[in-house]
């Protein structure tokens, strides 16, 4: 998965979202180790302090825990991960419906079209 | 150890009647990556040269690591000038020897690794290198020091976008974590991601000094967009009637 930093929103927030996505996608599996700050920062081409802030927020949200010996680990709270996954899915569905509305489809037509899609 | 690495107090520099820097008050901490941004002629290079002790201020003062520019500050500053100053009869290996002799914090092994990654061989003559390769080599030797302050004057202006990414990556992975990096440039979109804070200079004065993410949150704009807004010049529209012509005055 590529790191994408765009536009005008705070960089740390975008990094947080993409870290979350990586956890949901299983790139950093439950209970697994998240790479160290400097490594992640170099990979994403961002300032280490910015990456640090994103990781701190990840911990605030309960998605990761700091461990003195093992580094930073992904949470093992399956319920929390499922809830976030559902939340992200809903956002994508809303974006789809919004996009279809711009093209002139009603919500019903948009849903029907989606069901017909292979 | 002083908490603030760089402290400028009413720092001014005049060249004749031209004010290159006008009462700059600025404090920069340790472990930061700072963008020094401003259009051409806004005083970026002058400020960097004052820090290096290459220019003497006409007013105010500057301290680095608690001391005025001198023997101590020169030992903790690694400076990348805006133009090449090496003798061009040298080969790349000579340059590494030269730096090894000069600076006790120079990490030769690291420099050699970086040269290898960039396809620069020890026997390559500086004279026959392209402009971009010369700039890369210069950056390699500057970043191979374990300095407290790296002053990089336009490190990416002359190289292609792929090399730009490599150079920014090099800066990110090689700087001393307790050290501060100051990057002067006007290619903001390219460096924005790696900066902690930015300093906007305009006609020798600081118009903005803030953290990048704080600026993005407060203004809802990228630093690049903000820069374009602050420094916008209306294009000349061919209106000959309005305004006075100061050119001939």
Q: Which domain holds residue A28?
A: 11-76
Q: Residue with structure tokens 């001393």? A: B176
ipTM: 0.71
Q: What is the pLDDT of residue A23?
A: 94
**Do A68 and A89 sit in the same domain of this protein?**
no
Residues of chain B found within 8 Å of residue A39, distances taken between Cβ atoms:
none
Q: What is the pLDDT of residue B242?
A: 57
Contact B216 A45 (CB under 8 A): no
Of B245 and A96, the structure prediction assigns the larger pLDDT to A96
Q: What is the pLDDT of residue B100?
A: 94
Q: Is residue A2 part of a domain?
A: no
**Do A39 and A19 sit in the same domain of this protein?**
yes
Q: Which two tokens stand for residue B162?
A: 């792929």
How sure is the predictor about B238, in pLDDT bands with cuts at 50, 70 and 90?
low
Q: Residue with structure tokens 């899915």? A: A89
Residues of chain A found within 8 Å of residue B212, distances taken between Cβ atoms:
11, 47, 50
Contact B213 A53 (CB under 8 A): yes
Q: Which two tokens stand for residue A45?
A: 């081409």
pLDDT for B233 beyond 80: no
How sure is the predictor about B144, in pLDDT bands with cuts at 50, 70 and 90?
very high
Q: What is the pLDDT of residue B26?
A: 93
Q: Does A104 touch chain B (CB under 8 A)?
A: no
Q: Which two tokens stand for residue B148?
A: 């407290």
Summarised one tens digit per residue, pLDDT across range B49-104 is 999 999 999 999 999 999 999 999 999 999 999 888 888 899 999 999 999 999 99
Low-confidence ranges of chain A (pLDDT < 70): none
Q: Domain-by-domain residue ranges, chain B?
A: 4-230
Q: Is residue A33 part of a domain?
A: yes
B-facing residues of A in 10-29 (CB < 8 A) are 10-12
pLDDT for B249 beyond 70: no
Beta-sheet pairing, B4-15 with B18-29? antiparallel
Average pLDDT, chain A: 91
Size of interface A-B (CB pairs under 8 A): 49
Q: Is residue A5 part of a domain?
A: no
Q: How many CB atoms lie within 10 A of CB B184?
A: 25
**Do A112 and A97 sit in the same domain of this protein?**
yes
Q: Residue with structure tokens 């680095």? A: B64
Task: Decide: residue A45, CB within 10 A, 0-12 exposed, 13-18 middle, 19+ buried.
Answer: middle
Residues of chain B found within 8 Å of residue A47, distances taken between Cβ atoms:
33, 172, 193-196, 212
Beta-sheet pairing, B77-80 with B59-64? unpaired
Q: Is residue A100 part of a domain?
A: yes
Contact B213 A7 (CB under 8 A): no
How sure is the predictor about B167, in pLDDT bands with cuts at 50, 70 and 90?
confident
**Do A33 and A18 sit in the same domain of this protein?**
yes
**Do A41 and A59 sit in the same domain of this protein?**
yes
**Do A72 and A19 sit in the same domain of this protein?**
yes
Confirm if B234 and B248 have CB atoms less than 8 A apart: no
Average pLDDT, chain B: 88
DSSP state of B53: T
Q: What is the pLDDT of residue B101?
A: 94
CATH number for the domain formed by residue range(s) B4-230: 3.40.50.300
Read off the CATH number of the domain in which A43 is found.
1.10.10.10
Q: What is the pLDDT of residue B162?
A: 81
Q: How far is CA B78 from CA B146, B165, B206, in A?
A: 8, 21, 24
CA distance B42 to B16: 16
Task: Compute the nearest-CA separation of B216 from chain A (Å).
Answer: 5
Summarised one tens digit per residue, pLDDT across range B176-205 is 778 899 999 888 888 888 999 999 999 999
Summarised one tens digit per residue, pLDDT across range B10-57 is 999 999 988 999 999 999 999 899 999 988 889 999 999 999 999 999
């Amino acid at each position: 998965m590529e790191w994408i930093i765009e536009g005008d929103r705070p960089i740390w927030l975008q990094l947080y979202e993409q870290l979350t996505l990586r956890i949901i996608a299983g790139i950093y599996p439950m209970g697994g180790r998240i790479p160290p700050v400097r490594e992640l920062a170099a990979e994403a081409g961002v300032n280490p302090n910015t990456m640090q802030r994103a990781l701190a927020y990840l911990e605030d949200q309960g998605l990761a825990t700091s461990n003195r010996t093992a580094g930073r680990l992904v949470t093992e709270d399956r319920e929390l991960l499922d809830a976030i996954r559902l939340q992200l899915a809903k956002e994508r569905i809303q974006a789809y419906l919004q996009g279809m509305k711009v093209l002139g489809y009603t919500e019903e037509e948009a849903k029907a079209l989606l069901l017909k899609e292979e | 150890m002083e908490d603030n690495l760089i402290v400028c107090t009413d720092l001014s520099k005049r060249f004749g009647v031209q004010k290159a820097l006008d009462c700059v008050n600025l404090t920069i901490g340790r472990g930061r990556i700072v963008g020094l941004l401003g259009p051409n002629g806004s005083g970026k290079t002058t400020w960097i040269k004052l820090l290096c002790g290459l220019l003497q201020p006409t007013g105010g003062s500057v301290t680095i690591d608690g001391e005025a520019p001198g023997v101590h500050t020169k030992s903790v500053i690694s400076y990348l000038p805006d133009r090449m100053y090496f003798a061009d009869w040298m080969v790349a290996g000579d340059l590494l020897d030269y730096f090894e002799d000069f600076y006790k914090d120079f990490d030769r092994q690291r420099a050699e690794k970086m040269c290898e990654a960039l396809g620069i061989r020890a026997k390559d003559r500086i004279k026959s290198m392209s402009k971009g390769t010369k700039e890369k080599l210069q950056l390699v030797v500057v970043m191979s020091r374990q300095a407290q302050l790296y002053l990089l004057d336009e490190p990416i202006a002359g190289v292609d976008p792929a090399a730009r990414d490599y150079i920014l990556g090099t800066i990110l992975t090689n700087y001393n974590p307790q050290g501060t990096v100051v990057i002067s440039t006007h290619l903001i979109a390219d460096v924005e991601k790696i900066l902690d804070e930015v300093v906007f200079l305009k006609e020798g004065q600081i118009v903005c000094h803030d953290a990048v993410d704080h600026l993005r949150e407060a203004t809802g704009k990228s630093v690049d967009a903000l820069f374009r807004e602050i420094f916008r010049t209306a294009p000349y529209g061919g209106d000959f009637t309005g305004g006075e012509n100061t050119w001939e005055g």
